[in-house]
Structure 1
């Protein structure tokens, strides 16, 4: 017997309809490429998304055809998201920081029919145009520009396309399990792989994101997604913000610390989301500018482990709660979020701070387990100490990679993340390391994350990475790559001494290499693969 309740499919179009109906005058603020500020509203976003949907209808695309975007966090990009998915097409967001060969591979693999891009990426698109012959339409997300039209004769301009279109559009009636958007992994271990999200998974992910035990979003918030919209859908925040009617502040390409501090202060941002490298730049800029970041109540940190020193600075200097989170493209991306439980109020500040270092616990809809071997099925204890291969399952977790027939799951239906972690009885998960970043020294494992967290707390250090270097006797030993702060005077011995009494002596790095810059990938993560190629043999050279 079925229940006697209405059934309505969970569709992305329902999110923008809700925002238009109940939050039409809520502000959407964005920083343009030229540094100017544009203010619009959820009502305008909804109307323009329908105008663009009407234009897409004239292209006679087939259901589930892919429409690609190469764009920053801005209002036109946001409008296209809702137009594409709401039309029954698939919105394929592409990272412009990838190599041209990877961009061509991704566009061809997805069989994209339309390519939408910001003005700043015109030359990039021209450079790969001949290698993506199946793309039929090229649309620049801007007003008409004669100079661009001259060098790109078959280009069309977004503002011209939507201007004559009606604001009335009936969103496609879809099965909630229909595909809505496509994101590709970073491709650090081979070609990128596509992860195809559904309307259902996206809406459920949005519900979970807004919960008090997650990002705690509401109509009272002004949200700054520093994480790009081309990286796992900006962690789903543009969907979640529409669901609750939160205001959005979109930074465009201006992700430097000074620009972000000014956006936070000028527009009273309450919640910001990004990777640790972004927040390090923000903290440096806030100190230089004398900003108190007074409106910022919480910042969500994902993509890599957040250094304890950074959490402490946000809390003690800026009264801002840092929320650790963990996820990946294959998990939409939210897997766990660090919010404390009622019983933790009884802990002293030091104990609470220690718990905050965990990546967090899963919301409803996600399950975690640890297994003895990668892709194995034999579980190990959830005691907060035992280390194992982290596996996950849930309502918004990948099943099969796009275009592949073979499942991405273990034999009993879990996705192996490639992370090494611990779990406790409350579900709090601590990432020990990526499996490929662990250092095996004389048969014992050393966590690069733990070594990095200690080094980054040194006041003369801006950024660090620890890699495994080949060693004749111990197989592998840790080497610390460090970038000094602007006026840092720390020496190699100073930094090695800084580890004393903080970690076992045998785990202290063998060497410190100071560099002017540490390579960062397209999603803001440190490229340890590049560092291993550059410095992986450095200990052999001195033996």
Structure 2
């Protein structure tokens, strides 16, 4: 019989984070841009007092029971931050909903999750009013505002005021001792094919991933320096990459950008509030870098940004570090596994010359403790992790999804229990991971894979190009050939001939796009990634020049 450890059995629960912050970092500031545009300031002590009232309102006034879903259709504000604790900490489940989705997707998601209550803000109120007649489980709506900002009229039945709920609630809340495997939040995938799928995070998984992210804060700071974190990733996108938990856990200042994601407004917060660390998809940085160049602005405190969701173009990574002193730290993750790889480079990398440091950071992160990785071919046979073989990436981790909510949307894992990531990757012997494509986006030409990501990264290096996407179009001999689609920078023009000449010698000859199309704007997903499904539909019947 094995000898059992004599350790205390204390569950990992979300409420422990805000209680810790209130006790030891009570005076640390939280800054939030409101939906109306002004700045709201308070601290962890006052936030905790409001969170306790919210928990009492959720369980008392609203009557939400453990396991019941409470929806939030809202942006990154202080009230939304409070819900991450005042809902999840009670045993109810916070369902964060992406307002950028189409109305029919919103209806499906809210009904599928069986949200009993729906919290909205001033910007999402019209969305809620439009879809309310189709919502089958929502009993009441809560407007995340004070009484003065409540709408004069609304078609929503039973619209309650957030601040009225808090004012009427008891000031102290006794946090229940929850099973750490209880659901904490639900986030639905963007649903590029079929209906969105629900990923159910547990208290345990949220706390484990947040503890892993501690290294991002501690290793990017001087000992004892005050850190200021601002998630550009929306709260409905994978819990804002755990920043609502990470900032109070580390005692860091927290800045919330509200809804306005115009580059000047983001810069106003990033520099004006002396933000040191942030996170967001590469699209944000492409837009901000272009604005910085045109405005002549510089950052005074920003040191690093965690980036995921899609590949970071090399030119962007070089520009942000060389010209603006910001390291973009690339990691791999997805809704089904918020911590897929580590963003910190291996020890010794910092001493390398600039170009070699960029080479290392162009990888999709590094193998991280807690995650097991596997590569397989199309028939499911395991491939070597030698940095050369490319295959379908599979993972196992304590924070990786084992199934989708209600077991709908297909199997999340394969027959051996490995999560199917949908990515094509290679893994080097030292654990560096390189994603080369999404399985559904990979171009197979003459039986060989062509990486759309690598061509896109090269194309964005052209000084006139803001965004680039590569899709496969039909070819009678080669099955598929790459078509490059680009969006020029503001005030710039680029021709197909210029692009092809620029790429010549930068990518393998047989990877060279067979044509280039210039468009005004790229179709985007609700989480800031290029929506290639729309591009493929748009160019489904495209005839390449050599075939005309």
TM-score, normalised to structure 1, is 0.96
2:41 aligned with 1:39, yes or no? yes
In 2, Cα distance between equivalents of 1:114 and 1:303: 30
2:452 aligned with 1:454, yes or no? no
2:381 aligned with 1:382, yes or no? no
2:72 and 2:95 in contact (8 A); partners too: yes
Which one of 273, 276, 282 corresponds to residue 288 of structure 2? 282
Specify the alignment match of 1:481 in structure 2. Answer: 485
In 2, Cα distance between equivalents of 1:369 and 1:180: 28
2:423 and 2:438 in contact (8 A); partners too: yes
Structure-2 change in CA distance of 1:370 and 1:135 (3 Å):
same
In 2, Cα distance between equivalents of 1:5 and 1:18: 21
2:464 aligned with 1:442, yes or no? no
1:179 and 1:198 in contact (8 A); partners too: yes
2:311 and 2:453 in contact (8 A); partners too: yes
Which one of 256, 281, 300 corresponds to residue 250 of structure 1? 256
1:256 and 1:278 in contact (8 A); partners too: no
In 2, Cα distance between equivalents of 1:352 and 1:60: 54
1:117-159, Cα deviation, whole Å (9 max, x unpaired):
1111111101111111211110010012453445435200101
**Which aligned pairs between 1:403-482 and structure 2 lie closer than 5 A?**
403-404=406-407, 408-482=412-486
In 2, Cα distance between equivalents of 1:163 and 1:98: 33
3-state secondary structure, aligned to 2:118: strand
**Which aligned pairs between 1:529-540 and structure 2 lie closer than 5 A?**
529-539=533-543
In 1, Cα distance between equivalents of 2:80 and 2:512: 47
Structure-2 change in CA distance of 1:212 and 1:460 (3 Å):
closer
Specify the alignment match of 1:183 in structure 2. Answer: 187
Greater alpha carbon shift after TM alignment, 396-405 vs 63-72: 396-405
3-state secondary structure, aligned to 1:337: coil
In 1, Cα distance between equivalents of 2:544 and 2:358: 40
> Number of matched residues?
540
In 1, Cα distance between equivalents of 2:151 and 2:325: 48
Greater alpha carbon shift after TM alignment, 348-357 vs 173-182: 348-357
Shift of 1:31: 1.2
1:114 and 1:137 in contact (8 A); partners too: yes
1:521-540, Cα deviation, whole Å (9 max, x unpaired):
10001000000100132126
Specify the alignment match of 1:259 in structure 2. Answer: 265
3-state secondary structure, aligned to 2:472: strand
In 1, Cα distance between equivalents of 2:273 and 2:93: 33
1:139 and 1:158 in contact (8 A); partners too: yes
In 1, Cα distance between equivalents of 2:101 and 2:17: 30
3-state secondary structure, aligned to 1:128: helix
Greater alpha carbon shift after TM alignment, 406-415 vs 526-535: 406-415
3-state secondary structure, aligned to 2:192: coil
2:107 and 2:134 in contact (8 A); partners too: yes
3-state secondary structure, aligned to 2:341: strand
Specify the alignment match of 2:126 in structure 1. Answer: 123
2:95 aligned with 1:87, yes or no? no
Specify the alignment match of 1:229 in structure 2. Answer: 235
Specify the alignment match of 2:374 in structure 1. Answer: 369
Specify the alignment match of 2:162 in structure 1. Answer: 158
Shift of 1:352: 2.3
Specify the alignment match of 1:98 in structure 2. Answer: 101
Specify the alignment match of 1:25 in structure 2. Answer: 27
Shift of 1:262: 1.2
Which one of 400, 404, 420 corresponds to residue 403 of structure 2? 400
3-state secondary structure, aligned to 2:421: strand
1:149 and 1:155 in contact (8 A); partners too: no
In 2, Cα distance between equivalents of 1:422 and 1:148: 57
Structure-2 change in CA distance of 1:191 and 1:246 (3 Å):
same
Structure-2 change in CA distance of 1:313 and 1:529 (3 Å):
same
2:342 aligned with 1:340, yes or no? no
Structure-2 change in CA distance of 1:213 and 1:29 (3 Å):
closer
**Which aligned pairs between 1:483-498 and structure 2 lie closer than 5 A?**
483-498=487-502
Structure-2 change in CA distance of 1:212 and 1:257 (3 Å):
closer
2:150 and 2:161 in contact (8 A); partners too: no
3-state secondary structure, aligned to 2:407: coil
1:489-531, Cα deviation, whole Å (9 max, x unpaired):
3221011000111112221111111111011110001000000
In 2, Cα distance between equivalents of 1:329 and 1:197: 10
Shift of 1:43: 1.4
Runs of 4+ residues deviating >6 angstroms: none
3-state secondary structure, aligned to 1:106: helix
1:286-333, Cα deviation, whole Å (9 max, x unpaired):
2223221121100111110000000000110011111001100100x1
Structure 1: give runs of 5+ residues left out of the alignment: none
Which one of 349, 363, 367 corresponds to residue 354 of structure 2? 349
2:152 aligned with 1:141, yes or no? no
Structure-2 change in CA distance of 1:101 and 1:215 (3 Å):
farther
3-state secondary structure, aligned to 1:335: coil
Structure 2: give runs of 5+ residues left out of the alignment: none
In 2, Cα distance between equivalents of 1:159 and 1:9: 31
In 2, Cα distance between equivalents of 1:199 and 1:445: 40
Greater alpha carbon shift after TM alignment, 249-258 vs 303-312: 249-258
TM-score, normalised to structure 2, is 0.95
3-state secondary structure, aligned to 1:336: coil
Which one of 329, 343, 347 corresponds to residue 323 of structure 1? 329
Shift of 1:398: 0.4
Structure-2 change in CA distance of 1:210 and 1:112 (3 Å):
same
Structure-2 change in CA distance of 1:382 and 1:346 (3 Å):
farther
1:456 and 1:462 in contact (8 A); partners too: yes
In 1, Cα distance between equivalents of 2:218 and 2:199: 23
